[in-house]
């Protein structure tokens, strides 16, 4: 089963890839970051924290502690939370928000067979997005021009990424892979995400039909790229055992995102001002959201 971004399960198995155009590097140093952390609203726990828009709005998913229901959220730069559940859904995610306030997300049907659909939400107006003839569709991000990216599962249960512009779909599928997830897009239509043919993930950048593989050095279980801004600065996570650790990729170099005292820190997105969003895992009962400026 394909899972939403940030839900990548690491299994003790390694696959080798001979990749052309790959980008790798030496051991990464840590970035110097100024963090602002925040807690989930009363009665909720963070499930995942994803993108951040240019005005500082952070989006993601919450769990209701009483009902265990999953719902999307937006959090303004001033700290105000809004929760959202798509109509007739059992769970809802928001993954990205553009500078125009256009939210990109996905929801799972409440009724059997519980298919997953993409959606856009802006000013309370909800629009479902379904790749033609797909079994499931995820919508992950939209840019300022309305270009959106996501992934779908076809009838053969192969997962491919896509870009949609004015209703026209373009496939984004790494050759030979079983799964390609297109997770974020900037205003230059550079797309980042991950591809795999097993449990080992490879990060990628895609633009004008060309793939470049970007893998964090010595990452035991792979790399997932989760955000890219208009300056081409990329954020993502490298996977080690059951931990996802965030990083920045810029000018061919990697820098780790580390919150002091945390077990690990993940990166969900980056805006055009360089503000990064993500989660800080202090321990299993203390999970914080954050925004950070890193150098």
SS3 string, 132-146, reads CCCCEEEEEEECCCC
pLDDT digits (tens, 9 = 90+) for 135-151: 999 999 999 999 999 99
3-15: pLDDT as tens digits = 444 333 222 222 2
pLDDT digits (tens, 9 = 90+) for 88-130: 999 999 999 998 899 999 999 999 999 999 999 999 999 999 9
pLDDT of residue 37: 98
CA triplet 197, 203, 205: central angle to 5 degrees?
120
pLDDT at res. 26 = 52
Domains and CATH numbers, the chain: 22-294 (2.120.10.30)
Higher pLDDT, 26 or 72: 72
pLDDT score recorded for residue 221: 86
Mean pLDDT calculated for residue range 13-36 = 59
- What CA–CA distances, in Å, run from 215 to 53, 141, 230, 286? 25, 21, 20, 29
Query: Residues 11-43, buried b or exposed e (16+ Cβ, 10 A)?
Result: eeeeeebebeeeeeeeebeebebebeebebbee
Provide mean pLDDT across the span 62-67: 95
pLDDT tens string 156-179: 899 999 999 999 999 999 999 999
Lowest model confidence (mean pLDDT) among 10-14, 52-56, 79-83, 190-194: 10-14
Specify the pLDDT at position 23.
56
pLDDT, mean over the chain: 90
For the stretch 230-286, pLDDT in tens is: 999 999 999 886 566 999 999 999 999 999 999 999 999 999 999 999 999 998 889
**The pLDDT of residue 60:** 98
pLDDT band at 22 (very low <50, low <70, confident <90, very high): low
């Amino acid at each position: 089963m394909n899972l939403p971004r940030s839900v990548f399960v690491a299994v003790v198995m390694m696959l080798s890839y001979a990749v052309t155009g790959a980008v790798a590097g030496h051991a990464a140093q840590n970035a110097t970051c100024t963090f602002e952390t925040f807690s989930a609203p009363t009665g909720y726990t963070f499930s995942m924290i994803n993108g951040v828009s240019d005005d500082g709005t952070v989006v993601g998913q919450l769990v209701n502690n009483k009902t265990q229901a999953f719902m999307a959220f937006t959090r303004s730069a001033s700290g105000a939370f809004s929760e959202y559940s798509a109509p007739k859904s059992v769970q809802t995610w928001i993954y990205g928000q553009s500078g125009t306030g256009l939210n990109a997300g996905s929801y799972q049907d409440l009724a059997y067979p519980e298919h997953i659909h993409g959606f856009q939400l802006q000013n309370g107006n909800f629009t479902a997005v379904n790749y033609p003839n797909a079994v499931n569709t995820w919508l992950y991000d939209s840019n300022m021009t309305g270009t959106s990216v996501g992934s779908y599962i076809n009838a053969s249960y192969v997962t491919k990424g896509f870009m949609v512009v004015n209703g026209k779909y373009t496939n984004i599928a790494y050759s030979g892979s079983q799964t390609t997830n297109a997770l974020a897009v900037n205003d230059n239509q550079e797309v980042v995400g991950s591809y795999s043919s097993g449990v080992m993930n490879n990060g990628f950048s895609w633009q004008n039909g060309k793939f470049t593989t970007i893998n964090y050095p010595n990452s035991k279980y792979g790399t997932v790229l989760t955000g890219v801004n208009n300056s081409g600065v990329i954020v993502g996570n490298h996977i080690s055992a059951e931990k996802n650790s965030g990083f920045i990729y810029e000018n061919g170099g990697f820098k780790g995102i580390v919150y002091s005292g945390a077990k690990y820190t993940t990166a969900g997105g980056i805006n055009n001002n360089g503000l990064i969003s993500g989660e800080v895992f202090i321990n299993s009962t203390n999970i914080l959201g954050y925004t950070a400026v890193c150098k």
